[in-house]
C-alpha cells in the first residue's frame, strides 16, 4: 500500500536533560520509526527540538511552524502530554496527527509502540477514522487588558496556592452572574480533558463529539457546588476575589500567577485538533482499555 501522505513530521517526547541511556533508547526508537516511514514512501521531517535532544543526525529537520505549513501528517511518539503540546501548536494549520504511545495512559496517543508496524501502513494508505477535538481559547484579563493568552486542549484550572487556604471565585457565563464559591480551585474541561483532572475531581466523562464543557469545583466549601455540563458556545469568566498565591494552569503545561480582580475568560477556539485512528476505532475502545472496563467480564 502506498502512503497518501507525502511529507510526514516525526515528533518525539524530549527533555533538555535526560540520562544517556534514556536518550540512546529514545534515539533508537525514533530512528527506527523514521526508517519505517521512509520504507512506506514518506518523506520524513524530524521536528527540530526532537532531533536536537535525541541526538538524531542525517535527517531533514524543521520547526513546528514550518511543519504546519509543509507537512501532510504529524506522527507523535510519546505520551498524552507530548500530544497536547504539539496539538495546540499545529491546530491552526489543520495538520492531522497520529499518536504512538510511549507514555503511561495514552488516551490520545492510542497506538502502542509494539504495534505500529502493522497498524500504520493501512492508515498511511488512507484507511483511518478521523476524530476532531475542540480547543479552548483562554485569557487572563487584568485591569481590562489581556496579560496572558493561550490555547488549551484539556482544561483551564484555577488553583489555590500550595500552602494557602481556599480561593474565592466569582463565575459568570455569557455575562450572567452564576455563583460565588470558595474551593481549592475550579476546572473548566473540554471533552478531551474530561478524563483528566476533571475526572479525578468528580466530573463526568464527555464523549469527544459532544459540543460541551464541564465545569468542576475542586474540594468546594459548599457541597452543593457540583460539576455542571455547559454548551461550548458560551463564554465562561472566572474572577479571583480572594486567596493567596493563586494561579491559572492551561493543560498543566503553562501557568499564569493571578492577582485579586484578575478575570480568566474561556471560550471555544476557532481551531480544532485532528486525530487519526485505526479503521474501526471508537472512543469506547479507548475507555474500555484505559479504564479497564472489560476486567472481570
User: What's the mean pLDDT when you consider all of the chain?
Assistant: 93
> What's the pLDDT score for residue 267?
98
Q: Is 113 exposed, middle or buried (0-12, 13-18, 19+ CB in 10 A)?
A: middle
Could you write out the DSSP letters of every residue in 163-230? SS--EEEEEEETTEEEEEEEESEEEEE-TGGGGTHHHHTTPPP--TTS-EEEEEEES-SSTT---EEE
Nearest to 40 by CA among 137, 107, 123, 129: 123
Average the pLDDT over 91-118 and give the result. Answer: 91
Average the pLDDT over 145-156 and give the result. Answer: 97
Q: Which domains does the chain have, with CATH numbers?
A: 7-126 (3.40.50.10330), 135-270 (2.60.200.30)
Q: What confidence tier does 235 reach under pLDDT thresholds 50, 70, 90?
A: very high
Active-site residue, from 49, 63, 72, 80: 80
Average the pLDDT over 242-249 and give the result. Answer: 94
- 232 noted as active-site residue: no
Average the pLDDT over 145-160 and give the result. Answer: 96
Amino acid at each position: 500500500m502506498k502512503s497518501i501522505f507525502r511529507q510526514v513530521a516525526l515528533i518525539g517526547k524530549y527533555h533538555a536533560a535526560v540520562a544517556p541511556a534514556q536518550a540512546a533508547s529514545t534515539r533508537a526508537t525514533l530512528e527506527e520509526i523514521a526508517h519505517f516511514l521512509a520504507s512506506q514512501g514518506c518523506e520524513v521531517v524530524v521536528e527540530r527540538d526532537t532531533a536536537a535532544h535525541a541526538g538524531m543526525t542525517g535527517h531533514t529537520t524543521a520547526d513546528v511552524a514550518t511543519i504546519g505549513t509543509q507537512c501532510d501528517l504529524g506522527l507523535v511518539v510519546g505520551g498524552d502530554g507530548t500530544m497536547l503540546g504539539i496539538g495546540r501548536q499545529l491546530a491552526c494549520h489543520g495538520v492531522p496527527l497520529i499518536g504512538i504511545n510511549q507514555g503511561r495512559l495514552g488516551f490520545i496517543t492510542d497506538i502502542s509502540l509494539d504495534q505500529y508496524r502493522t497498524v500504520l501502513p493501512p492508515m498511511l494508505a488512507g484507511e483511518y477514522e478521523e476524530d476532531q477535538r475542540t480547543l479552548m481559547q483562554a485569557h487572563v484579563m487584568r485591569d481590562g487588558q489581556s496579560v496572558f493568552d493561550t490555547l488549551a486542549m484539556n482544561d483551564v484550572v484555577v488553583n489555590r496556592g500550595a500552602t494557602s487556604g481556599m480561593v474565592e471565585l466569582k463565575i459568570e457565563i455569557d455575562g450572567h452572574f452564576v455563583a460565588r464559591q470558595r474551593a481549592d480551585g475550579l476546572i473548566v474541561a473540554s471533552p478531551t480533558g474530561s478524563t483528566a483532572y476533571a475526572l479525578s475531581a468528580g466530573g463526568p466523562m464527555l464523549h469527544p463529539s459532544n459540543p460541551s464543557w464541564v465545569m468542576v469545583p475542586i474540594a468546594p466549601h459548599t457541597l452543593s457546588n457540583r460539576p455542571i455540563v455547559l454548551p461550548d458556545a458560551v463564554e465562561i469568566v472566572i474572577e479571583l476575589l480572594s486567596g493567596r498565591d493563586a494561579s491559572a494552569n492551561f493543560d498543566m503545561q503553562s501557568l499564569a500567577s493571578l492577582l485579586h480582580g484578575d478575570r480568566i475568560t474561556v471560550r471555544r477556539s476557532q481551531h480544532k485538533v485532528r486525530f487519526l485512528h485505526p479503521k474501526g476505532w471508537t472512543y469506547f475502545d479507548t475507555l474500555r482499555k484505559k479504564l479497564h472496563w472489560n476486567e472481570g467480564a
